[in-house]
Structures are given as structure tokens and as C-alpha cells.
Amino acid sequence: MLRFDAVRIEQGDFRMDADLSIDAGARVAVIGPSGAGKSTLLNALAGFLELSSGRLSWDGTDITDAPPARRPVAMLFQDNNLFPHLSVAQNVGLGLRPDLRLSPEDRARVAQALGRVGLDGMGERRPANLSGGQQGRAALARVLVQRKPIVLLDEPFAALGPALKTEMLDLVAELVAETGATLLMVSHDPDDARRICPLTVLVDDGCAAPPVATAPLLDNPPPGLRAYLGN
Ligand SMILES: Nc1ncnc2c1ncn2[C@@H]1O[C@H](COP(=O)(O)OP(=O)(O)OP(=O)(O)O)[C@@H](O)[C@H]1O
């Protein structure tokens, strides 16, 4: 179980509170108005941002002060963050070793992850020689290869067309189901949440609320969310 225990996060004038738990293996959308703090919540969990107060724990182990690399967390960012001068396999290998000194086992893991996302035989290409969807898959492989129990996606597929986005969302759902990973996904599209996240954390008004069932929340949104969703 992932636990935010009386967490407060501050950034300049912005402050947000979170007191909530997420069961291992849950798939959770993080939804709320622009500027509400969705990315901030993920960044704090990934260790890119210090808490002002409160504790974070995973499976009963306190991770509040752990550096990002020691946390049980792998994060996929908005623009995929592939390095253009590295091969696809090297980009994935960065998930294992930032210095890219990959052992034969590491290389085998990279190849396996590439195969799992449908990029067999494309490891030697540069990202520029992949389609947008294939680049998304490469970035997913980098998350997968880390075998971390918590996967964070911050609006990962916003730039993709609807068909490709659906395909990537379904691949994410499949991969986390296979590995048993817990998923937190920021999205501006409520249909993304409905598609692969049975639960939703609503971030609004300086608070990240405990997860609730996604469909009833979106069918009958509270006023702040209703205004944001435009219905
Ligand atoms: N480095 C920073 N210093 C000060 N304030 C910041 C910093 N980064 C973000 N903020 C503020 O923190 C608040 C939350 O930002 P955050 O990016 O988490 O929102 P968000 O819900 O992810 O928004 P969006 O949906 O637009 O991406 C905003 O008010 C933002 O202006």
C-alpha cells in the first residue's frame, strides 16, 4: 500500500495537502483543474520535490527521505524524454543504469522490454527514426525495464492522435496488470481515466482527495470538477 500520511507540499505560494492510501496494484487517475497540483503530487512521490511535512510510505517502509533512484517508483513524462543522440536500446538502458554500463543481463532485460512493447529489432535506431507511437512505446519500455512497483504517468500520450492514444493506454493497462504494478496517471481527458483507471484521486482546492470510483465521480462531478470538465 502507498500511503500519504498528513502530507503537505509547498511550491512558492502554492500549497497542497494529501492524506490518502492507494492499494498495491490499483490503477488510479489523477484529475483536476489546471494548476491544481497534479504534477506536483507525482513529483513529490517520485522524490523530485521535498515534503514540507508529513510522511510517504510504501508497504510500510518510509520513503519520505529516499532519493529518487531508491524509491519504488518509475515515471514517464509528458514528452517521453528520449535522448536523440542515443539509440532506442540505450534510451531504455538508461532506466537501468544512468552511466549505460550495461551488463549482458541488463542488455537482455532491455531487449525483453523492447520486445514486450512491440519494438523487436528496433533497438539500434535513433528515436527520430521511430514513429510517434513507437517513441511512446520506447519510453514505456524504459519504465518497464526498471521493474518498479509504482508507475507514474504525467499526461503521457497527450500529443498522440485518438486511435494511437487508446492503443497506448491499453498497453499501459496490460503491462501494469502483468507486473502487478500500481499506476498513477495524470490526465486531462476524463475518457482516459474511464478507460484504464477504476479509481480517481481528485486534486482541487489545495487538496488531493482519497481515491474514489472513477465512473460515478465523472458521471456526477462535484462543482469544481464540473466547471473544469465543462459540463
Ligand atoms: N517551481 C515552481 N515554483 C513555484 N510554484 C510552482 C512551481 N511549479 C509549479 N508551481 C505552482 O504549483 C501549482 C501546481 O502546479 P502543477 O504543475 O502541479 O499543476 P497541475 O495540476 O499539474 O497543472 P496542469 O494540469 O496545468 O499541468 C501551480 O499553481 C503552479 O503555478
Least confident window among 20-24, 158-162, 190-194: 158-162
Confidence of residue 50 (pLDDT cuts 50, 70, 90): very high
Residue nearest to atom 10 of ligand 1 (CA): 11
Give the per-residue pLDDT at 193: 95
Q: Is 39 in the pocket of ligand 1 (CB under 6 A)?
A: yes
DSSP-assigned beta bridge partners for residue 184: 28, 152
Percentage of the chain beyond pLDDT 70 is: 98
Mean pLDDT to the nearest integer, 127-134:
90
Q: Is 231 a residue whose pLDDT tops 80?
A: no
Provide, rounded to the nearest whole percent, the portion of the chain with pLDDT above 90. 78
pLDDT at 183: 97
Cα(221) to ligand 1 centroid in Å equals 23
Superfamily of segment(s) 1-72+150-230: P-loop containing nucleotide triphosphate hydrolases (3.40.50.300)
Is the CB of residue 96 below 6 angstroms from any atom belonging to ligand 1? Answer: no
Q: Where are the domains of the chain?
A: 1-72+150-230, 79-147
Does position 155 have pLDDT exceeding 90, yes or no?
no
> For ligand 1, atom 8, which residue shows the shortest CA distance?
11
Q: Which three cell numbers stand for residue 218?
A: 465523472
How remote is the CA of residue 216 from the centroid of ligand 1, in Å? 27
**Which residue owns the Cα nearest ligand 1 atom 16?**
37
The answer to whether the complex's ipTM is over 0.85 is yes
Q: What is the pLDDT of residues 74-116, one digit of tens each?
A: 998 766 689 999 999 999 999 999 899 999 999 999 999 999 9
12 lines ligand 1 (CB under 6 A): yes
Distances (CA, A) of 104 to 78, 96, 111: 31, 12, 11
Q: Given this model, what pLDDT does residue 163 score?
A: 86
- Report how far ligand 1's centroid is from the alpha carbon of 42 (Å): 11
**Ligand 1 nearest atom to the CA of residue 41, by list position:** 18
Query: Which mutation among 7, 8, 38 tests ligand 1's pocket best, with the greatest number of atoms within 8 A of CB?
Result: 38
pLDDT tens, position by position, 160-193: 888 888 988 999 999 999 999 999 999 989 999 9
Q: How many CB atoms lie within 10 A of CB 12?
A: 5
Q: How far is the CA of 138 from the centre of ligand 1 (A)?
A: 27
| Mutate-to-test residue for ligand 1 from 9, 11, 205, highest number of ligand atoms within 8 A of CB | 11
pLDDT confidence of 225, banded at 50, 70, 90? confident
